[in-house]
Amino acid sequence: MTGRLWGVGLGPGDPELMTVKAARLIGSADVIAFHSARHGQSIARSVAAPYLRAGQLEEHLMYPLTTETTDHPGGYQGAMDDFYAECAARLATHLDAGRDVVVLAEGDPLFYGSYMHMHKRLADRYACEVVPGVTSVSAAAAVLGRPLCERDEVLTVLPGTLPPDVLAERLRTTDAAAVMKLGRTFSNVREAFELAGRLDEAWYVERATTSDQRTAPLAEVDPDSVPYFSLALLPSPINNTAADDEFRLATEGSVTVVGLGPAGPEWMTPQARAAIAAADDLVGYGPYLDRLPDRARQRKHGSDNRVESERAAFALDLARKGSRVVVVSSGDPGVFAMASAVTEVASEPAYADIEVAVLPGLTAAQAVASRVGAPLGHDYCVLSLSDRLKPWEVIAARLTAAAQADLAIAIYNPASKSRTWQVGATRELLLEHRAATTPVVIGRAVGGPAESITVTTLADLDPEQVDMRCLLLIGSSQTQVVDREAGRLVFTPRRYPSA
C-alpha cells in the first residue's frame, strides 16, 4: 500500500484561519513537507506549527534560487524544473514506503502556490487530495472591510509580473481586481494602476491577518518597503470608498453629472472616477461613453450630441426607478455641457425629489492653455461660436464686448461640418479692436494621439485650420509669445500696465 498525498491550504497566515480538516491532517500525517527560500525560514511551517506533533518526519524543500540569476543550462526555468523534479522524487520515496505526506501551502494550494508543481508530478501515480484554503485575496478584502465584488461584477486576478501596459489594459476593463506577486514588481504595478486611471481606488495589503499586517492606499506605499507577500486590491466599485472623504454617491435614485476631462483617464479626477465606478447606468454622448471601460454590471446609454434635454430627462427617469445614474460630459460638465441641461430639467416639479450632483472636470480651455504656458493667466472670458442654441447676433455682440474689454478669449465650438463661416467672421470682428499681431493658439484634440498645437496671430488665423475638435485661445493686448531655446511660451502677465 502506498501513502496518500495531501496538498493542504493553510490560509493567509493566521493559524486560526486554517480549516478544521487542514489542522486534522497536519496533526495525523507521517510526513510534513514545506518550501522555503535559501534563508531556510518557512512561512508555511510557522503557520502550521501549532498543529504539528512530535515524531513527524519533515521534508524541507529549499528553493535553489528566487530572483537571482543562475548558470544552469536551462536558465531560471530549467533550474526550477530540476528542483521540482527532485522534490517530487523525495516525496515519492515516502509515498512508496506507505507514508502519508502533507505538503503545506500558504493560502490555497492551487492558487499561485508551490504545491501545484508536486501535484502535477505525483497525482497520476498516488492517491491525492487537495484541501482548499482561504486565499490572500479574500483575506485582504476582509482586513480592509471592502467587498470584492457584488451582483454581476467581474473580479480579475492578475500577476504583478505582467508588463505595466498589459496590466493597465486589464485594470481598465474590470470592475474589481487583485494583483499578486508584488515585491520587486511593485513599481510596475503602481504604474499600471496609474495608466489605467484607477490608482486612487486601489489599496495595498501586506501579510494579511498576521501580526505584521499592514494596509494603506496603494498610492502612498514606498516601493522599497514592499515584500513578496503583499497584494494590490481594487475592491468592488459599488462599495469602494477610497474617495469617501471627497465624494459620497447616494445609495440609489440619484443623478451625478461628471466631467471626464478633455481626453484620456489621466485627465479625469479621482472624484469623477469614483462616481463612474459606483454607477448603475451611464448616460451621455456616444463617443464620450466610448472612453469609459465596459463593465458587466453597468449599462451604457449613448445618444446624439443634440438631444441634451431628452438625455437629461432620460437620466432622471432612470433615477426615479432607483438607479444610480452618471451623466458624462467631456471637459467640465458646467462649461457648454450636460450640467446645465440636467439641472434645468431637474428643476421641473416632476423631478423635485431626485438627488442631483455635479462633479467638476478639467476644462478644454485650461488643457490647451497648459500646452503653451499661461495665455489665460489674467482675466478672460469663455464663448461658444455655436449658433444652434443662441443667434449669431448675440455671439457677435459678446465677442465685440470681450474685445473692447481687452479680455483674453477661449472660444469653444468654433466650427462644424455644417457651420464653417463663423471663424472668419470672428476674426474680422476682433480685428476691429485687437492688433493684427494678437497671439492666437489653436489646440486640436489635446490629450489624444492626434493632438496638435498651433500658435499664430489674429491676422494669420486661417479658418481652414479649424474644426469642431479645436479650441481657440485669443490673447489680450498684454499676451506675449516668447521664443526660447527650451521652447516657445505664450502667457498673459497677471499685472496690467496701469496697475
Residues 477-490, mean pLDDT to the nearest whole number: 95
Residues 15-21, mean pLDDT to the nearest whole number: 95
Q: For a pLDDT cut of 90, what percent of the chain falls above it?
A: 73
Q: Is it true that 5-134 and 137-234 share their CATH fold?
A: no
- Pairing, β 203-206 against β 214-217: antiparallel
pLDDT tens digits, 28-56: 999 999 999 888 899 999 999 999 999 99
- Whether residue 279 contacts residue 324, with contact meaning beta carbons closer than 8 Å, is answered with yes
Residues 326-353, mean pLDDT to the nearest whole number: 95
Residue identified by cell 472636470 is 361
Give pLDDT, residue 305: 76
- pLDDT value at 326 more than 60: yes
Residue 325's DSSP bridge partners are 255, 281
Largest CA distance in the chain: 103
Q: Is domain 5-134 given the CATH code 3.30.70.360 in the classification?
A: no
- Residue 48 CA to residue 103 CA, distance in Å, equals 11
Give pLDDT, residue 270: 82
Residues 447-455, mean pLDDT to the nearest whole number: 92
Give pLDDT, residue 325: 96
Residues 385-414, mean pLDDT to the nearest whole number: 94
Give pLDDT, residue 139: 95
- Residue 30 CA to residue 22 CA, distance in Å, equals 14
- pLDDT value at 330 more than 70: yes
* CB count in 10 Å sphere of residue 224: 7
What is 254-359's CATH topology?
A: Cobalt-precorrin-4 Transmethylase; domain 1 (3.40.1010)
Higher pLDDT, 236 or 202: 202
Closest CA to 343 of 323, 321, 365, 313: 313
- pLDDT value at 247 more than 70: no
Grid coordinates representing 364?
478644454
| CATH superfamily placement of domain 137-234 | Tetrapyrrole methylase, C-terminal domain (3.30.950.10)
Residues 202-216, mean pLDDT to the nearest whole number: 93
* Helical spans, DSSP H, in 290-406: 308-320, 338-346, 364-372, 392-404
Higher pLDDT, 496 or 401: 401
- Residue 103 CA to residue 9 CA, distance in Å, equals 9
- pLDDT value at 250 more than 70: no
pLDDT tens digits, 58-81: 999 999 887 667 888 888 888 899
pLDDT tens digits, 73-124: 888 888 899 999 999 999 999 999 999 999 999 999 999 988 999 999 999 9
- Residue 10 CA to residue 26 CA, distance in Å, equals 10
Residue range 365-491, CATH number: 3.30.950.10
Grid coordinates representing 224?
522599497
Concatenated DSSP letters of 165-181: HHHHHHHHT-SEEEEE-
pTM of the predicted model as reported, rounded to 2 decimal places? 0.60
Give pLDDT, residue 232: 96
Burial of residue 173, with CB atoms counted within 10 A of its CB: 0-12 exposed, 13-18 middle, 19 or more buried? middle
Q: Please give the order of strands across the beta sheet that includes 176-180.
A: 155-159, 176-180, 230-234, 203-206, 214-217
Residues 6+ apart with CB under 8 A from 277: 175, 201, 237, 240
pLDDT band at 215 (very low <50, low <70, confident <90, very high): very high
- pLDDT value at 452 more than 60: yes
- pLDDT value at 188 more than 90: yes
- Residue 242 CA to residue 227 CA, distance in Å, equals 23
Give pLDDT, residue 217: 93
Q: What is the mean pLDDT of the chain?
A: 91
For the CA atoms of 41, 47, 49, 52, what is the dihedral angle to 10 degrees?
-120
pLDDT tens digits, 280-312: 899 999 999 998 888 767 899 998 877 899 999
Question: What residue segments make up the domains of the chain, in order of their start?
Answer: 5-134, 137-234, 254-359, 365-491
